[in-house]
Amino acid sequence: MNIYCVGNVLLKNDNLPLRFMDVLRSKFPKHTFLEADPNENFIPEEGAVIIDTVVGATEVKLYTSPDDFTPAPHVSAHDYDLSFHLRFLQKVGKLQSVRIIGIPQSMDEGKALTGVSHLLKKLE
């Protein structure tokens, strides 16, 4: 299974999935962990998992729709993020279903890694 880690390496509150990608690779060697950028024509295949930080989340959680973790409507191109991109792909028929592991922005890295690992084991 492909597992896409999304984030901005320049922003500490948005790069947690990228920071522990190598640890996840060693814990789950059967899966392929890839860095993804929704601004670069990212189209996940069916069955893939995406790991991203979620504004306002309080726990590591599995989402099955971008609408589940988008707190407000997007109103400009500056709001183009993963949830907007996934909704766009669904609208144009390029994505039927999606599984996103959301991590709170301010969560401790160890706690986030434990939560993500737990959910990945459930999805295997």
pLDDT for res 10? 83
Distance from C-alpha of 108 to C-alpha of 121, rounded to nearest angstrom: 20
Question: What's the pLDDT tens digit per position in 69-81?
Answer: 665 555 444 445 7
The per-residue pLDDT of the chain, averaged, comes to: 85
Give residue 68's pLDDT.
Answer: 76
Query: Residue 32 and residue 47: Cα distance in Å, rounded?
Result: 12
pLDDT per residue over 33-63, tens digit each? 999 987 778 888 888 899 998 888 899 999 9
pLDDT above 70 covers what percent of the chain? 90
- Cβ contacts of 116 within 8 Å, gap of 6 or more: 17, 20, 24, 51, 60, 101, 103
Instruction: Output the pLDDT for position 80.
Output: 57
Each residue's pLDDT tens digit, 95-108? 888 899 999 988 99
What pLDDT is attached to residue 71?
Answer: 54
CA 43 distance to own-chain centroid: 13
Query: What is the reported pLDDT for 98?
Result: 85
Rounded Cα–Cα distance for residues 26 and 85 (Å): 29
Instruction: Report residue 57: phi and psi, to 5°.
Output: -70, 150
- The fold for domain 2-123 equals Rossmann fold (3.40.50)
